Structure 1
Amino acid sequence: MSDAPVIRADEPGSFPHGVLAARHPALIRTVLDAFPYGPDQRRALDALLTSATEGVMEPLGTEDDERWAAWGAREYLGRSWFEAPFLWSESYFYRHLLEAVGYFGPGAWQGIDPFRPFKLAELDSPETDGELAALDRLTEQPAEEQARALLHGSLWGNRADLGFRLSTPGATTPVSRLVVDDSASLWSLLPVDTICLVADNAGRELIPDLLLLDHLLHHGRARRAVLHVKVYPYYISDAMTADVLDAVRRLAGAQGAAADAGERLWAALADGRLEVRAHPFSCAPLPYADMPDDLRAEFAAADLTIFKGDLNYRRLVGDRLYSPTTRFADTTDWFPGPVAVLRTLKSDVIVGIDAATEAALVAAEGQRWRTSGTHALIQVGVK
């Protein structure tokens, strides 16, 4: 167990405090505007708005209370949202939001994803059209160059065009924004029989993840892929099975190389070479070090597991204020197999960078580099 302090949101002016005090209230208002919710849902959302900013954490009032009790609810109920660990408060907020809109039912709103309009808007955006069109140029490059570009596309998420265009003559590679680059180590682990990818966001960010998996399968760098998604809407844009299907349909309905990839992904889903998994622990307010035995066994059975995105990084290494020079291997040595991370930095947690890099970043930006989303890393841990 690390002695680095757990991140909390009780310091005004800190990044976590801003998420709870400003981002969460804004999200409630956005969800209210996105759906014609009835009086019951609107009252529940208004109550959550007040509770999240001025009140204390309260029970869910559903059968899910038992699960959340096992995840630590008894310790934090009745306390300010700002006093609990940041990861726990964030997760509990989203679970309360889903209850407020009737996601878990019973009722007409059961199973209606409150974030779906935002996900679909990204898939249907002109930016997505441009990124998919870039795939046609990418297929003209050697397979190694394609792989490198698709890896960077997945890394940068909704700035995926930066990755897809890396192989375009004259393109500018954002290497100065990579604070750690273990990509050579990642490629050295391939080919494998089974690769797992723990997805982050849906919409525009899920497309490059799927394209990366398609490339690995199509070029024989993996015989089989397992894509882990959330079991229900978690945070504003996290991917679920429905989002995977939306993204594959978006690809298949495009033209050129994007359509080819979509058709291959559809076939891979149908014949089992690509499997989608949604484990209940995917929505837990806990680090992956606390995962149950059945999920641990799934990761142990894979030859390589890639965790995508900022939230998964926080859950993999622990949501703590480490010294940035803490070794990545020291925070992931419990993981039951080779593990890699593709992450754009959007929170305070960071490990595995050298002292000179940290000093240069702090001199140039203060601590903003940790949370601005303008820097990224590729980290690999092998026992």
Structure 2
Amino acid sequence: MATLAPPGADKSHPSAAAPKKTSLALGNLPPKQQGFGTQQATMGVRLPTILGKAIDDVVKTLNDEYDEERIIDLTECISRMEDLMDDLQNNAQLRPIIDDGEGDIPLWNRMLAKYFRGKDFMNAPWLFAEAYKYRRLHECFSLSKYWKTYDVFFRQSSSSFSHPPSKPSQQLTAYPDASLPSPRASASSSTECETFSRSGDAVFELSLRFAEPWKQAEGYSEEQQLEAKRLMFHELTQICLWGNSTDLSLLINMTEEDIKKLQSTGGDHLAATEQNILGNDLGRVWEYISSSRFCSAGKGGRLDFVLDNAGFELYCDLVYADWLLQSGLCSKIVFHGKRFAWFVSDVTRQDFEWLPNSMVYGHLFPNASDEELASLKQMGLRWKQYVKEGKLSYQQHAFWISGFTFWSLKDEAPDLFLELSNSDLVIFKGDAPSSTPFNMAIGPLATEAGAPPVLSLRTVKSDVVVGVPQEMADRLDKEEPGWRISGKYAVVLFSEGHKGEPISFA
């Protein structure tokens, strides 16, 4: 549990004057929970642990540095990280983000001024407070001269893995062009390397099965072919779903055996775990995606992924995307990720580029057989070709690294709303806000004119649970008190949206 400041202690933090208040729609923020819930676990345990490891990482880098100016600059980064740790441990008020030249400053400070003035880490909604912590962590380096792109999660990987040299720093614009590279110090995140290399059993189980191009079985009737495609869709959607179990920002003490259990992709395992999908719209999704509403005139639809974790989860997402393209259900798939390191293991552009390159050229699995390595390489080459052909692409937007909920997307990022409105289906892999019915939780993404169809694939790893009937939640609270954070349960939730309706902005 967090160590709170004693009564009467000064919790103020030196900062610039807060910007002028503006009216923002935050939607349904998660309610505070009683007892040792996600708020206490996040602010009192997980975030200090993650930040402590990050400080240790930077100290190791400092000890290896020889240039005096870079050493002094890095010690100032460490000092800012220690200030952040003090704020966490002493439950300080949430101060404005210092202007570090990044284009998301107005987004953050408008929210802080309007809704969170005087709030501290423990009484602000925990999802916002956690996002705020990661933005503050980025600030520790973005204010420096030499370390703007430093990745504090890099060294969590095994020391035997090598990485390409750093790329030049890129400054963030308010709504950045999707073609710009993410400002990250390495072309691969440590967490991606770590979870992917530790996931060998599941990685090769999938690569050996799906390396060869997918073909419809010959001699089948049209009805039989459609049923075979439905069964494959059903299985791969579940693989994509359960890949979401591996989130290092939530599972900080996960063992290799834990990873293997979470990542099992065998048919028997999937059949057994389907009963743990508490809200299951798989049937509705297949009915939509196999219809002319999604695939028109023999052309596959456009699918957008709003990504969550790098490493094994991204690998599962790409296996899924690969089959959707090969099956003809999709003709174009767009992935949406983060601009810089976020929540330890969230996907950045470098993660997206690193994965297929590591499959083709890397040496992450020294004990793998020639057949296993060949299957991995074959898939990686095919994915790289998809990117060259424009069938797979990556975009990044400042909205995804803000503290806003989905309710604010249309007002705060109208360009992003317009982009998503062009999609035939948007799959969200990350948290949805509030323990409410799904359509209510995503707000304008379900009700606004032009809103695209939305599918949420989410394993339950926090107090934030959407689309679970209240009576079921009450029963699980009684029978399995830790069900909200175990990763054992999941939801598959679908909103048809209002695609095609004219969009207007206030």
| Pairing of 1:126-141 with structure 2 (within 5 A) | 126-139=197-210
What is the deviation of 1:208? 0.6
Q: Which has the higher helix share?
A: 1
CA distance in 1, matches of 2:359, 2:229: 20
| Pairing of 1:1-383 with structure 2 (within 5 A) | 6-8=30-32, 13-35=36-58, 36-37=61-62, 38-54=74-90, 55-62=92-99, 63-64=101-102, 65-73=105-113, 75-100=115-140, 102=141, 104-118=142-156, 119-120=189-190, 122-123=192-193, 126-139=197-210, 144-157=230-243, 158=246, 165-167=265-267, 173-190=272-289, 191=295, 192-253=300-361, 255-291=373-409, 292-309=413-430, 311=431, 313-314=432-433, 320=434, 322=435, 326-332=436-442, 334-335=444-445, 336-355=451-470, 357-366=472-481, 368-383=482-497
CA distance in 1, matches of 2:437, 2:106: 36
Q: 1:75 to 1:360 in 2, by over 3 A?
A: closer
Q: 1:123 to 1:218 in 2, by over 3 A?
A: farther
CA distance in 2, matches of 1:27, 1:121: 12
Matched position secondary structure for 1:260: helix
Matched position secondary structure for 1:370: coil
Matched position secondary structure for 1:379: strand
Residue in 1 that maps onto 2:251? none
Gap runs ≥5 in structure 1: 315-319
CA distance in 2, matches of 1:198, 1:160: 25
- Relative to the length of structure 1, the TM-score reads 0.86
1:162-194: CA deviations, max 9, x gaps? 6663336x8763123211221122222224421
In the alignment, is the contact (CA less than 8 A) between 2:421 and 2:452 conserved in 1?
yes
Q: 1:114 to 1:93 in 2, by over 3 A?
A: same
CA distance in 2, matches of 1:255, 1:106: 41
What is the deviation of 1:27? 1.1
Matched position secondary structure for 2:199: helix
What amino acid maps onto 1:40 in structure 2? E
In the alignment, is the contact (CA less than 8 A) between 1:306 and 1:339 conserved in 2?
yes
What amino acid maps onto 2:327 in structure 1? H
What is the deviation of 1:248? 1.8
Gap runs ≥5 in structure 2: 1-24, 63-73, 157-188, 215-227, 247-258, 290-294, 362-371, 446-450, 498-506
1:259-307: CA deviations, max 9, x gaps? 2221121111122111101011011101112012111111111000000
What amino acid maps onto 1:166 in structure 2? G
What is the deviation of 1:330? 3.3
- Relative to the length of structure 2, the TM-score reads 0.66
Matched position secondary structure for 2:272: coil
- Measured on the aligned residues, the alpha-carbon RMSD in Å equals 2.8
Of structures 1 and 2, the larger Rg is shown by 2
1:215-269: CA deviations, max 9, x gaps? 1112211000010001122211111100111112233347244322211211111
CA distance in 1, matches of 2:26, 2:116: 21
What amino acid maps onto 2:420 in structure 1? F
Of stretches 46-55 and 335-344 in structure 1, the one that deviates more from structure 2 is: 46-55
1:343-381: CA deviations, max 9, x gaps? 011121223233553344233213x21222221111111
Matched position secondary structure for 2:492: strand
- Identity between Structure 1 and Structure 2 (%): 23
1:109-146: CA deviations, max 9, x gaps? 11122223344355355532212210255349965554
CA distance in 2, matches of 1:25, 1:2: 27
In the alignment, is the contact (CA less than 8 A) between 1:123 and 1:204 conserved in 2?
no
